Amino acid sequence: MTRAFNKSSQTNTRRHLRRNLPRAEVLLWAKLRGRQLAGLKFRRQYGVNRYIVDFYCPAARLAVEVDGDSHFSDGAERRDAKRQTFIESFGIRFVRCTNDDVYDNIDGVLQEIERVAELRLSKTDPPQSPLG
């Protein structure tokens, strides 16, 4: 069986991304690290096959993506949708927010992450549409 998570071939890329987090990810990580959110363990820059998600909670199989400016360029929405659909095929649910969401309403972002994680852990999570 091929390893699908945190492939060793991506170690240097994931390490580089962790060391060079955008400001919004730094702020969100400060609130997620150390089981601060509902006692949930999150990991930064987690590999799922050929892709890397910003944050991942293994217990809830939940990916958190912070969309910066690059996600709003030409063709980015289509690429993001393809990437998200592929990652969801592993049974992973997405919560997406923007840099501005983190800057302007980090408490709301955290509430949404916690709400979705609790649904996932309670097994009452409804099926997700292709784009969340």
| pLDDT tens track for 10-64 | 777 767 777 778 899 999 999 999 999 999 999 999 988 889 899 999 999 999 9
Interior/surface letters 48-86, b for 16+ CB within 10 angstroms, e for the rest: beeebbbbbbeebbbbbbbbbeeeeeeeeeeebeebbee
pTM of the model: 0.82
Q: Which two tokens stand for residue 126?
A: 């409804």
Secondary structure element (H or E) that encloses residue 15, with its range: helix 11-19
pLDDT for 73: 58
% of the chain residues with pLDDT over 70? 83
pLDDT for 15: 72
DSSP reduced 3-state for 68: coil
